[in-house]
């Protein structure tokens, strides 16, 4: 579904992606991991067309995406930080996004699931960070997209909402979707990820399962396996 060839991106004198190659043909849940500044968010935003790389090619469903926009109608994206117009009401925001996408949606079920109904007529600028994240999740999962990208989706969520999020992710996987997740919560990765893509210094350092990276590092859990890699790299 996604193929990336020799992707280069720098910001000023800082090289963020350095000839990154990645191909994901299977459906399921892929965790994109790496330390801060490794290039995770830049990679995601390149796939979305929000960042334009200096070199390289990106293919989505077999078609090149550079200079195009229509492929994004088959992608749902949850950004790391929910930034909404402060004077807009929750109901107005949902309707606006539905009008922009022009696709069928299932927002009612998600509004009920995340207990958003009491906030529907409140302005977004008055809401807590956790409530904004729940609204962010409603906007992300209310469309039927083949690719779902979740950038730090657990931020600000209470334990109940986190359980619902994990159930939603598994439901989408069961429908044959591809879900890309970036997170610093290794327990979440161990619970849900089919494969891991670990980025280090702008390149793919490791690609495989949780068990494979634990075996590679000789560690019993993912958190220590990642720490082991970072210690060896930056020793």
pLDDT tens across 213-228, in order?
988 888 888 998 988 8
Q: What is the DSSP string of 102-133?
A: TS---HHHHHHHTT-GGGTTSBGGGS-HHHHH
Specify the pTM.
0.93
Per-residue pLDDT at 193: 96
Domains in the chain: ranges and CATH = 2-234 (3.40.50.300)
How many CA atoms does the CB half-sphere of 93 hold within 13 Å?
25
pLDDT in the model for residue 147: 96
Q: What is the spatial distance between Cα 106 and Cα 228, in angstroms, rounded to a whole number?
A: 43
What are 136-163's pLDDT values in tens digits? 999 999 999 999 999 999 999 999 999 9
Contact 219, 190 (CB under 8 A): no
pLDDT at 235: 59
Q: What is the number of alpha carbons within 13 Å of residue 36 lying toward its C-beta?
A: 0
């Amino acid at each position: 579904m996604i193929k990336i060839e020799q992707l280069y991106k720098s910001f000023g004198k800082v090289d963020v992606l350095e000839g990154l190659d990645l191909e994901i043909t299977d459906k399921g849940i892929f965790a994109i991991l790496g330390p801060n500044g490794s290039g995770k968010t830049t990679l995601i935003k390149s796939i979305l067309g929000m960042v334009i790389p200096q070199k390289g090619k990106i293919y989505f469903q077999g078609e090149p995406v550079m200079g195009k926009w229509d492929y994004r109608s088959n992608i749902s994206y949850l950004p790391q930080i929910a930034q909404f117009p402060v004077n807009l009401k929750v109901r107005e925001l949902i309707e606006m996004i539905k009008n922009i996408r022009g696709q069928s949606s299932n927002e009612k079920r998600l509004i009920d699931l995340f207990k958003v109904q009491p906030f529907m007529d409140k302005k977004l600028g008055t809401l807590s960070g956790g409530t904004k994240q729940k609204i962010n999740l409603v906007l992300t999962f209310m469309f039927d997209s083949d690719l779902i990208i979740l950038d730090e989706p657990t931020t600000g969520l209470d334990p109940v909402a986190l359980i619902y999020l994990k159930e939603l992710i598994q439901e989408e996987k069961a429908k044959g979707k591809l879900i890309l997740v970036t997170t610093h919560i290794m327990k979440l990765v161990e619970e849900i990820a089919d494969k891991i893509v670990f980025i280090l210094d702008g390149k793919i350092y490791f690609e495989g399962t949780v068990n494979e990276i634990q075996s590679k590092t000789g560690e019993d859990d993912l958190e220590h396996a990642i720490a082991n890699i970072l210690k060896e790299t930056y020793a």
